[in-house]
A = this chain, B = another copy of it.
Amino acid sequence: MIDPRVVDTFERCRGRSPLLVIDIDRVRERYEALVAALPDATVYYAVKANPHPDILRCLIDLGSHFDVASIGEVTQCLDVGATPERLSFGNTVKKEGAIARAFDLGVRRYAFDCDGELDKLIAAAPGSIAFCRILCDGLGAAWPLSRKFGCAPDLAADMLRKAAANGLRPGISFHVGSQQFDVDAWDRALATVADLRAELRADGIELELVNLGGGLPGTYRETTPAIDLYGKAIAHALHRRLGPSLPAEVLIEPGRFLVADAGVLGAEVVTVARKTSYDEHRWVYLDVGMFSGLAEVMDEAIRYRIVTERDGPTGPVVLAGPTCDSADVLYQRYEYQLPLALAPGDRVFLLSAGAYSATYSTVGFNGFPPLDVEVVR
């Protein structure tokens, strides 16, 4: 189940626990599979999923572009050799100083979703592509997004007219929700994009960019559709809604899809406890938890596949992290079964832990260091 090179790395690094091992070859495989499945779209890797420099370098070599969330991520990409024309500043929440700095560095694609942000782009990023993020229903996603990002389509139309009138080049983006299992979700969003495109065309304004956002899945405990299916469904929706002549730029922003499956997180069992005399559940405490890399277990939204080195019969467990924080519980409602023989010192592996893990680590909550990382290729 775990690649032998990754197993070897854990053997070589015994004593370093918890440890995230990232397999760069898997990143390459996923990138190539996505490009083959969806040739219409340019891949902008969502750097926030995992900004490890080796991942960025691998993707630069493969020709990937990059979706960045902050000026910090802009410089992380440039520092390892990405050119600024490959970057898209996809966070709708930006200080004007950050926009000005990114513009000085050569970045020419920016997201916005409200009038205040548009004004900043008019002032600090003249002539750039400004894509407006619209609200999207998020039905079918493991993490339906809140209304934090995006605006109602009628506001988008007004703002894109204003953008065009002020010399910005208009685009639209949306996000169907992270870990989206409904491959038709893009079609529903693109229907709205098509309406907006027609409305703008009536005013002589042509959309230059459509950004399909993220949502492609990592492989957790649930069965996930194959990437080919996503590719076919999205391509069909694109041509149905925006064909025959697609906008000049069609972007997709995978994060999780490219890096989740490339990571295996090795942890150690610290304690196995029973809370009362008659509870069938054991509490299993690992040396990694919500504050040292597993923030995505919040509300048990992401359910990692977990393997151990023990055989034999299993029983139900509650899984928790090592800190004194009572919120640092990984899985309590969602049932996990682990070997009855599991004991302190045993190793446990969380699969597909390459996304939203290392950089989510706290700087040192409870005196525990951030997640340690090792790369294999």
Contact = CB atoms under 8 A, between A and B. Distances in A.
Nearest to A96: B344
Given A113-B273, A273-B114, A72 B364 contact: yes
A23 interface: no
Given A71-B367, A363-B362, A145 B326 contact: yes
Contacts of A92: 271
B275 A147 contact: yes
Interface stretch (A5-13, A191-199, A317-325): A317-325
A165 interface: no
Given A151-B276, A324-B91, A72 B369 contact: yes
A328 B114 contact: no
Q: Which of A145, A268, A360 has the most C-beta atoms of chain B within 10 angstroms of its own C-beta?
A: A360
A203 to B, nearest CB: 19
A76 interface: yes
B363 A363 contact: yes
Contacts of A291: 295, 360
A362 B364 contact: no
A101 to B, nearest CB: 13
A285 interface: yes
Interface in A244-284: 268, 270-277, 283
A367 B148 contact: no
A97 to B, nearest CB: 10
A360 B362 CA distance: 5
B275 A94 contact: no
A323 to B, nearest CB: 7
Given A151-B273, A152-B276, A276-B155, A368 B93 contact: no
A314 interface: no
> In this complex, which of A74, A120, A276, A370 has the most chain B Cβ atoms within 10 angstroms of its Cβ?
A276
Task: Give the number of times this chain occurs in the complex, counting copies.
Answer: 2
Interface in A153-169: 154-155
A273 to B, nearest CB: 3
A351 interface: no
A320 B343 CA distance: 42
A146 interface: yes
Interface of A: 46-48, 51, 68-74, 76, 90-96, 113-117, 120, 135, 143, 145-152, 154-155, 178, 268, 270-277, 283, 285, 287, 291, 295, 298, 320, 322-329, 332, 343-344, 358-370
Given A94-B270, A145-B326, 10 more contacts: A48-B366, A76-B367, A93-B285, A93-B323, A95-B268, A135-B275, A151-B273, A360-B362, A361-B363, A363-B363
